[in-house]
Structures are given as structure tokens and as C-alpha cells.
Amino acid sequence: MSVVLVTGAANGMGAATAKYLAGLGYTVEACDRLDGDGHATVDVRDTEAVDAWVRSVLDRNGRIDAVVTFAAYGVVGSVEETGPDEAADLFDTNVLGTHRVVRAAMPTMRAQGAGRVVVVSSGAGAIAEPYGSWYSATKAAVERLGEALRMEVSQFGVQVSVLAPGWTVTPIIDASVRVTRPIAEYDADRGAVLTRVSGYLAQGQRADAVARKVQEILSAARPRQTYVCGNDVRLSFWTRRLVSGRMYERLVRGYYGI
């Protein structure tokens, strides 16, 4: 059965996907920066650690058939409140971490003449989320990265898709970093957004739904460029296409309670 690398596998969608694929008979090689059972401890910000992990996967299995990149976290705060160091670390994990893992696995998949990559974005990649702006920016970045990668490596038989999940019951809010230099003038709006987001997450889809969507992509004969998972993100994609920028901003403000 296929050998699949899954990052961000300690909890949430990554953990659900690793468990689901393993249950279907896939050979799952999972990692996360957090220690835990069933996955390797690898920080995707560390190029040498990522390269060593991928080499160990090859030593055990002799091949890599797919890569699924869940490793990511969020920062809660306005653009102004977020320091350059906080923004840079977020990009290092969410964007460059994706790049490091894909880059380490790609030579093997090119040599095989086959492979799958699922770059996990988010509904936030299509929407400018107030007080989650930097997370939105990283997810928009990985979408463009995945789209370009798809065009570059299809000639080698490697197929790349972007997956954008909507609201999903995960511990992402608990795991998110709060800015270290908050500004009081933003407190009311930041709190309102955080309350709305917490509610949407609590009512979201189960992580198993995302796991099933990943398996659908991995098993598709001709996987599409982009997949969404969740009615909320599907509605957001279409709304942005159909209404004016001014109306869209009004809708987003109302949705987040500001």
C-alpha cells in the first residue's frame, strides 16, 4: 500500500488523517513538533530535522507515494499588534515548513515518476480574517505555492492538490499564539472575533471529514487543483466571486462581529 507522509499529526485534522489512512492500510509516516505516540517528533522549521526524517522514511520503506502537509498554527492579534518576529515564525512553520517537507520528498517522487502532494490550506486562505490576518496570509501563500508546484512537477508524474478545510472541531484556538504586545484599543474587536471563531469551531465539521477528503484526493485518478471541505468555506469561495468588494467586507465584518 502507499507510503504517505503526514505532518502536524499530534492532534486535530493531521491526527485524524493519519489514523484514518492507517486504518485503510496505508503506510503512514507521521510527524509533529509535539511529542506523542504514533508519530516522529520533528519541527518543520528545522531543515536538517526534516531531511533526516524523510531519509529515515526512505530507509524503512524504500519509497514515498504521498505527502500531506497539516503542520501549522495561528496567531491571534491585529496586524499592528503582531511583531515581525511573531509573523516570521508563523511563516516559518506554515509556509516554509510546507516547503521543507515537500522539497525533501520531491526527489524521490520525481525518480519514481509518480507521487501525490496535498497542500493543506484553509478557508482562511480565501478570506481576510480580522485578527487572524497573518494566519490568513500564510494559508493564501501555501495555496499559491501548491498551485505553482502542481504546474512544475506534473511533467514528472507528481500530482499536487490544494485542500481548503472549513470550520473543523480542532484545538487550533487553544494552540494559537496570542500576541505578546497587545494594544488596548483593539481589545473589544479582538475579543468579539475570538468569541465568534470559538463558536464556529465548536459547531464545525469533525476532523474525520477532512481525513476522508484527503483519502479521496489520494485515490483520485485525476485529482483536481483545489478541493474544499465544508459548506462554510464553499459558500465563502462563491460569495467572494459574486459580490462587490464593499459588500464582501460588510459581510465579513458582520460574520466576525465587528
Digit-coded pLDDT (tens) for 212-252: 999 999 999 999 999 999 988 888 888 888 999 999 999 99
Whether residue 1 is predicted with pLDDT greater than 70 in this model: the reply is no
18 Cβ contact list (under 8 Å, min separation 6) = 6, 9, 28, 30, 38, 39
Beta strands in the chain (DSSP E): 3-7, 27-32, 40-41, 66-69, 75-76, 115-120, 158-165, 177-178, 226-229
Digit-coded pLDDT (tens) for 17-72: 999 999 999 999 999 999 998 999 999 999 999 999 999 999 999 999 999 999 99
Digit-coded pLDDT (tens) for 106-154: 999 999 999 999 999 999 998 889 999 999 999 999 999 999 999 999 9
CA dist., res. 229 & res. 166, Å (int): 6
Q: CATH for 3-256?
A: 3.40.50.720
pTM of the prediction?
A: 0.94
Domain ranges of the chain: 3-256
pLDDT score recorded for residue 99: 99
For a pLDDT cut of 90, what percent of the chain falls above it? 86
Phi, psi of 131 (to 5 degrees): 65, 5
* Number of Cβ atoms within 10 Å of the Cβ of 157: 12
